[in-house]
Structure 1
Amino acid sequence: MIRTGADYIESIRDGRAVYVGGEKVKDVASHPMFKPLVDIRARFYDMQHDPRTRHLMAYEEDGEWNGIGNKLPLTQGDWWDKRRATDTLLEEVGGVVTRVGDETVGEMWSLFDGQDVLNEVDPQFSANIRNHIQRVLKADPFHVSANTDPKGDRSKPPQDQDPDMLLHVVRETDAGIVVRGAKYETAAAYANQAFTKPTIANWGNAAYSDYAVGFICDLGSPGLKFICRTGFAGRAPADDYPLSNSFDEVDTLVIFDDVLIPWENVLFYRHTRAAMFIRATLHRYSAFAFVQRNLKLADMMIGAALFNARQTGLDKQQAVQEKLAQLAVYREGINAHLTAAIALSERSPGGLMMPNQSLLYTGRVLACSQLHEMMHIARELCGGQICVTPDKAAFDAPETKPWLDKFYTINSEWIADDRRKLLAFARDMLNSDYAGHRLTFQLFAQSPPFAHLAAVYRNFDWDGPLDFVRKAAGLSENVLGKVTRAPGDSAVSQWFNTTPPSRQAAE
Structure 2
Amino acid sequence: MIRTGDDYRRSIQDNRDVYMNGERVKDVTTHPMFKPLVDIRARIYDMQHDPATADVMTVTQDGEVNAVGNALPYTQDDWWAKRRATDAVLEDVGGVVTRVGDETVGEMWSLYDGTDVLNEVDPQFAKNIETHIGKVLKGDPFHVSANTDPKGDRSLAPQDQDPDMLLHVVKETDAGIIVRGAKYETAAAYANQAFTKPTIANWGNAELSDYAVGFICDLGSPGLKFLCRGGFAGTRGDARDYPLTNRFDEVDTIVIFDNVLIPWENVLFYRHTKAASFIRATLHRYSAFAFVQRTLKQADQMIGTALFNARQTGLEKQPAVQEKLSQLAIWREGINAHLTASIALAERSPAGLMMPNQSLMMTGRCHALNNLPAMMHIARELCGGQICVTPNVAMFENPETKPWMDKYYTINDRWVAEDRRKLLAFARDLLNSDYAGHRLTFQLFAQSPPFAQSGAVYRNFDWDGPLNFVKNGADLSDRVMDGIAPKDGDSAVLKYYGDALRKAAE
> Given the two structures, how large is their TM-score scaled by the length of structure 2?
0.95
Aligned partner of 1:196 in structure 2 is: 196
Equivalent residue for 2:270?
Answer: 269
**DSSP 3-state at the match of 1:189:** helix
* Correspondences of 1:24-173 after superposition (within 5 Å): 24-173=24-173
Matched with 1:13 is 13
CA–CA distance in structure 1, aligned partners of residues 253 and 37 of structure 2: 14
The equivalent residue for 1:504 is none
**Residue of structure 2 equivalent to 1:313:** 314
Aligned length: 491
Partner residue, 1:247: 248
Aligned match of 2:363: 362
- 1:62 deviates by 2.6
- The runs of at least 4 consecutive aligned structure 1 residues that moved more than 6 Å come to 482-485
The equivalent of 2:214 in structure 1 is 214
CA distance in 2, matches of 1:267, 1:4: 29
How much does 1:202 deviate? Answer: 1.5
Q: What stretches of structure 2 of length at least 5 have no aligned partner?
A: 487-494
Deviation at 1:60, TM superposition (A): 1.4
Name the amino acid aligned to 2:26: K
**Other-structure match for 2:440:** 439
Aligned partner letter, 1:133: I
Q: Which residue of 2 aligns with 1:187?
A: 187
SS at match of 1:195: strand
Amino acid at match of 1:344: L
> 1:294-327 CA distances to partner (integer Å, 9 max, x unpaired)?
0000000000000000001000000000000000
Once the two structures are superposed, what CA deviation does each residue of 1:306-350 show, in whole Å capped at 9, x if it has no partner? 000000100000000000000000000000000000000000000
- What residue in structure 1 maps to residue 396 of structure 2? 395
Q: How does 1:367-446 map to 2 (within 5 A)?
A: 367-446=368-447
Cα separation, 1, equivalents of 2:227 and 2:367: 33
Structure-2 residue corresponding to 1:353: 354
Matched with 1:4 is: 4
2:360 and 2:295 map into 1 onto residues whose CA distance is 15
Deviation at 1:480, TM superposition (A): 2.0
Whichever residue aligns with residue 396 of structure 1, its letter is E
TM-aligned CA deviation for residue 63 of structure 1: 2.5
Letter paired with 1:241: Y
One-letter code of the match for 1:224? L
Give the letter for the 1:270 counterpart: R
Which residue does 2:283 correspond to in 1? 282
Distance 1:222 1:138 in 2: 25
> Shift in Å at residue 61 of structure 1?
2.1
1:482 shift after superposition: 6.6
Q: CA RMSD in A?
A: 1.7
In 2, the alpha carbon distance for the partners of 1:249 and 1:234 equals 13
Query: Which residue identity is paired with 2:408?
Result: F
Q: CA deviation at 1:404?
A: 0.2
SS of match in other structure, 1:210: coil
Q: Which residue of 2 aligns with 1:205?
A: 205
Rounded to whole Å, the distance in 1 between the matches of 2:62 and 2:164 is 46
Distance in 1 separating the partners of 2:59 and 2:471:
50
Q: Which whole-Å CA distance do the structure 2 matches of 1:429 and 1:121 have between them?
A: 48
How far apart in 2 are the matches of 1:314 and 1:28?
Answer: 46
In the alignment, the residues of structure 2 paired with residue 368 and residue 410 of structure 1 have an alpha-carbon distance, to the nearest angstrom, of 36
Q: Distance in 2 between matches of 1:130 and 1:274?
A: 15
Q: Deviations over 1:281-303 (max 9, x none)?
A: 00000000000000000000000
Q: How does the TM-score come out when normalised to structure 1?
A: 0.95
Gaps of 5+ in 1: 499-507
**What is the identity percentage for the equivalent residue pairs of Structure 1 and Structure 2?**
78
Name the amino acid aligned to 2:146: A
